[in-house]
Chains A and B, each alone.
Chain A
Amino acid sequence: DTAVSQTPKYLVTQMGNDKSIKCEQNLGHDTMYWYKQDSKKFLKIMFSYNNKELIINETVPNRFSPKSPDKAHLNLHINSLELGDSAVYFCASSDGGMPTDTQYFGPGTRLTVL
């Protein structure tokens, strides 16, 4: 019944490793997002996909690569992890990509880079 789900919930890894976070939504939405919430709780959009096509890419290092195999999934792959990547990553989805569309958030993935 979960609308937007993410796995894993917690991820602890060493600097330099490559890791992926998966996101799935069962709401039938066309648009999905990745957000990063830092230790001071600032929330910033990273990417937005509409029907598997990238529509927002916000000055994110190219070590971050989103991949959307279908419109229900938006995965985030991170190469060569750095200490500054430690944060909570949220996936979200909305019916369309307009600001009038309500975004539904997943529970978050807490990434800790040691």
Chain B
Amino acid sequence: AQSVTQPDIHITVSEGASLELRCNYSYGATPYLFWYVQSPGQGLQLLLKYFSGDTLVQGIKGFEAEFKRSQSSFNLRKPSVHWSDAAEYFCAVGGGGGSYIPTFGRGTSLIVHP
């Protein structure tokens, strides 16, 4: 069975500092991996996704993530955080073919200090 672990419930950073949010997955084959952001009172928005190819994926809003098969990780990074990045971040894993069931992590809440 597939699973996703986001070990950090909360992360606090200062505005302008770099950010890394951790995500570890368990999946039997090559996974499809996603990062979503959820602002307060809003639905989820896709930041980036990985299916194959280059293991460093660029997304929207200046985010990137790196797929490391040996570590079963797909960590999200941003070099300089803005106050508007404060939100909940979800990592998700899914498989290929036909109908698929995505599995989401429990989310990491990002707090940005001025």
Binding site for B on A (CB under 8 A): 4, 40-45, 48, 55-56, 58, 90, 92, 97-100, 102-103, 105-108
Contacts and interface: CB of A to CB of B under 8 A. Distances in A.
A98 B72 CA distance: 22
Contacts of B51: 99-100
Interface stretch (B17-25, B39-47, B76-84): B39-47
B106 A105 contact: no
Given A102-B49, A105-B43, 19 more contacts: A40-B106, A41-B106, A43-B44, A43-B104, A55-B99, A56-B99, A58-B101, A90-B43, A92-B43, A92-B44, A97-B99, A98-B96, A99-B51, A99-B95, A100-B32, A103-B46, A108-B41, A108-B42, A108-B43
A99 B106 contact: no
Taking residues whose C-beta sits less than 8 angstroms from the other chain, chain B's interface range is: 20 to 34
A16 to B, nearest CB: 28
A92 B34 CA distance: 15
Interface in B6-40: 32
* Chain B at the A interface: SS class: loop
B43 A48 contact: no
Interface of B: 32, 41-46, 49, 51, 88, 90, 94-96, 98-102, 104, 106-107
B13 to A, nearest CB: 20
23 contacts: A41-B88, A41-B106, A41-B107, A42-B106, A43-B107, A44-B104, A56-B101, A58-B101, A92-B43, A92-B44, A98-B96, A98-B100, A99-B32, A99-B100, A99-B102, A100-B49, A103-B44, A105-B43, A106-B43, A107-B42, A107-B43, A108-B41, A108-B43
